[in-house]
């Protein structure tokens, strides 16, 4: 019997059932599945009810499903997200970045405690693309944020491990929605100041906070100009003991440098503060700035515009990711790929030509 050909349209349908990003609204078995138990844990309904009732265990279990690469878990996760979506979007999303050792964990722990005193419920998530190698270097160490993790008003989740930055970013985005449905009203996303991860985080937050060290200039601290440009607030951390003077100098230098950048679409002028995460100093000024940003950008419409733009960008990004996966999983592509690579290496085809051939093979299959 002739082997059944695997058409791209088939694969798209198949993806709907199995892919990580599959919208469950396309899944005809959704209602049935809502009642079904997911791998011995809670059903979709139990998870959603738990999340909406602020049950941290249900939230943690749902995030575990979001992070799982098991297609069944993904199916459940997508159903949970869909049910939580109407209850999400109400938090203030803050990205925190800075080079390793600048004090991000210490800062988030102190700021988290401070805002809990102000009546907030912070959820702390992380994006760490290096965690594949280091098995979760940020937030992964249990001794970090010890006090905050013991506080019932806070929820802390280390960076998901494994997968590409795009995959990790998707998991974090979906986790944000779940935390918001569980009524965490400030979501803090930590990322290491290396490579692309800040750009991913910037694309999912309302406010972007850059931590720097006293004294040394950008280059010495390994901070890229683009990151400074993205910041809505710069905090010179470790402004304590003998570093206070240096911290004040850094504050002046960065305030001057920021004036040279073009005005932001938000019309917000990023302030530079000094703080000591260790001594919990300077946090009220920083939080006041965050609140001022929220008030200003909600009044001038930027807050909502940015959220809408982020949603559209993520929609396009999701399509690219899913298309890429469907393409590479296609049997004809898998068969021809090594040959094309050899042809490129031997100079028989240009990369562009080889890509064209493989794509037309896929499209016309
Ligand atoms: P991360 O790698 O950016 O998350 O940095 P950590 O929060 O792990 O901090 C790195 C080191 O700097 C730790 O030894 C902290 O105790 C220390 N540290 C963090 N914040 C401060 C601060 O405000 N002042 C001082 N003196 N040390 C700090």
User: In angstroms, rounded to a whole number, what is the distance separating the alpha carbons of residues 171 and 74?
Assistant: 11
Of the listed ranges 38-47, 107-116, 225-234, 346-355, the least confidently predicted one is 38-47
Assign a CATH topology to domain 89-300.
Rossmann fold (3.40.50)
Model pLDDT for residues 131-189, shown as the tens digit of each residue: 555 544 555 554 578 889 889 999 999 887 766 777 888 899 999 999 999 999 999 99
Residue 138 has what pLDDT? Answer: 53
Residue 342 has what pLDDT? Answer: 96
Q: What is the mean pLDDT of residues 343-358?
A: 95
Q: Does domain 311-364 have CATH number 1.10.287?
A: yes
SS (H, E, C) the chain: CCCCCCCHHHHHHHHHHHCCCCCHHHCCCHHHHHHCECCCCCEHHHHHHHHHCCCHHHHHHHHHHHHCCCHHHHHHHHHHHHHHHHHCCCCEEEEEEECCCCCHHHHHHHHHHHHHHCCCCEEEEEECCCHHHHCCCCCCCCCCCHHHHCCCCCEECCCCCCCCHHHHHHHHHHHHHHHHHCCCCEEEEEEECCCCHHHHHHCCCCEEEEEECCCCCHHHHCCCHHHHHHCCEEEECCCCHHHHHHHHHHHHHHHHHHHCCCCCCCCCCCCEEECECCCCECHHHHHHHHHHHHHHHHHCCHHHHHHHHHHHHHHHHHHHHHHHHHHHHCHHHHHHHHHHHHHHHCCCCCHHHHHHHHHHHHHCC
271 lines ligand 1 (CB under 6 A): no
φ and ψ of 340, to 5 deg: -65, -40
Each domain of the chain, given as residue ranges in start order, spans 39-87, 89-300, 311-364
105 lines ligand 1 (CB under 6 A): yes
Find where tokens 């979001």 sit.
66
Residue 325 has what pLDDT? Answer: 86
Residue 42 has what pLDDT? Answer: 87
Q: Separation of 244 CA from ligand 1 center, angstroms? A: 15
226 lines ligand 1 (CB under 6 A): no
Q: What is the mean pLDDT of residues 119-126?
A: 95
Do the domains 39-87 and 311-364 sit in the same CATH topology, yes or no? no
Q: Separation of 276 CA from ligand 1 center, angstroms? A: 9
State what percent of residues in the chain have pLDDT above 70. 81
Q: What is the mean pLDDT of the chain?
A: 84
103 lines ligand 1 (CB under 6 A): yes
Residue 222 has what pLDDT? Answer: 62
99 lines ligand 1 (CB under 6 A): no
Of the listed ranges 35-44, 128-137, 268-277, 286-295, the least confidently predicted one is 128-137
Q: What CATH number matches the domain at 39-87, 3.40.309.10, 1.20.5.170, 2.40.30.10, 3.40.50.300?
A: 1.20.5.170
- Range picked from 24-28, 34-38, 113-117, 132-136 for highest mean pLDDT: 113-117
Ligand 1, residue 241: give the atom nearest the CA. Answer: 26
Q: What is the mean pLDDT of residues 310-321?
A: 91
Q: Separation of 87 CA from ligand 1 center, angstroms? A: 35
Nearest Cα residue to atom 20 of ligand 1: 103
Q: Separation of 234 CA from ligand 1 center, angstroms? A: 16
246 lines ligand 1 (CB under 6 A): no
Find where tokens 């009203």 sit.
185
Ligand 1, residue 192: give the atom nearest the CA. Answer: 3
Q: Separation of 36 CA from ligand 1 center, angstroms? A: 46
Q: Separation of 100 CA from ligand 1 center, angstroms? A: 9
Joined together, the tokens standing for residue 167 give: 């995959």
282 lines ligand 1 (CB under 6 A): no
User: In angstroms, rounded to a whole number, what is the distance separating the alpha carbons of residues 341 and 355?
Assistant: 10
User: In angstroms, rounded to a whole number, what is the distance separating the alpha carbons of residues 52 and 88?
Assistant: 10
Nearest Cα residue to atom 26 of ligand 1: 238
User: In angstroms, rounded to a whole number, what is the distance separating the alpha carbons of residues 219 and 114?
Assistant: 32
Residue 261 has what pLDDT? Answer: 86
Q: Separation of 236 CA from ligand 1 center, angstroms? A: 12
| pLDDT for 294 beyond 90 | yes
Q: Separation of 178 CA from ligand 1 center, angstroms? A: 29
Give, for ligand 1, the residue of 97, 98, 103, 239 to mutate: max count of ligand atoms closer than 8 Å to Cβ: 103
104 lines ligand 1 (CB under 6 A): yes
Q: Separation of 96 CA from ligand 1 center, angstroms? A: 14
């Amino acid at each position: 019997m002739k082997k059944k050909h695997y058409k791209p349209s088939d694969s798209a349908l198949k993806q709907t059932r199995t892919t990580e990003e599959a919208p469950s609204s396309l899944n005809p078995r959704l209602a049935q599945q809502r009642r079904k138990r997911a791998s011995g844990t809670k059903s979709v309904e139990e998870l959603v009810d738990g999340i909406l009732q602020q049950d941290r265990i249900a939230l943690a279990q749902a995030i575990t499903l979001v992070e799982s690469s098991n297609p069944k878990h993904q199916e459940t996760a997508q159903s949970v997200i869909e049910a939580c979506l109407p209850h999400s979007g109400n938090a203030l999303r803050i990205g925190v970045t800075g080079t390793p050792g600048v004090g991000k964990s210490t800062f988030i722990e102190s700021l988290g405690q401070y805002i809990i005193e102000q009546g907030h419920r912070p959820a702390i998530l992380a994006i760490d693309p290096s965690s594949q190698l280091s098995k979760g270097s940020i937030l992964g160490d249990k001794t970090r944020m010890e006090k905050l993790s013991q506080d019932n008003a806070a929820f802390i989740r280390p960076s998901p491990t494994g997968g590409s930055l795009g995959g990790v970013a998707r998991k974090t985005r979906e986790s944000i929605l779940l935390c918001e449905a569980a009524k965490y009203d400030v979501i803090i996303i930590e990322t290491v100041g290396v490579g692309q991860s800040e750009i991913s985080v910037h694309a999912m937050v309302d406010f972007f906070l850059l931590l720097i060290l006293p004294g040394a200039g950008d280059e010495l601290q390994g901070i890229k100009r683009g990151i400074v440009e993205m910041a809505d607030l710069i905090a010179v951390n470790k402004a304590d003991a003998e570093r206070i003077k240096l911290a004040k100098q850094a504050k002046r230098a960065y305030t001057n440098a920021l004036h040279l950048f073009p005005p932001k679409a938000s019309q917000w002028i990023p302030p530079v503060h000094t703080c000591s995460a260790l001594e919990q100093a300077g946090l009220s000024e920083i939080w006041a700035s965050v609140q001022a940003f929220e008030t200003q950008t909600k009044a001038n419409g930027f807050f909502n515009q940015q959220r809408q733009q982020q949603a559209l960008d993520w929609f396009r990004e999701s399509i690219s990711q899913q298309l890429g996966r469907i393409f590479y999983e296609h049997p004809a592509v898998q068969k021809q790929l090594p040959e094309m690579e050899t042809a490129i290496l031997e100079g028989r085809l240009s990369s562009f030509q080889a890509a064209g051939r493989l794509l037309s093979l896929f499209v016309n299959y």
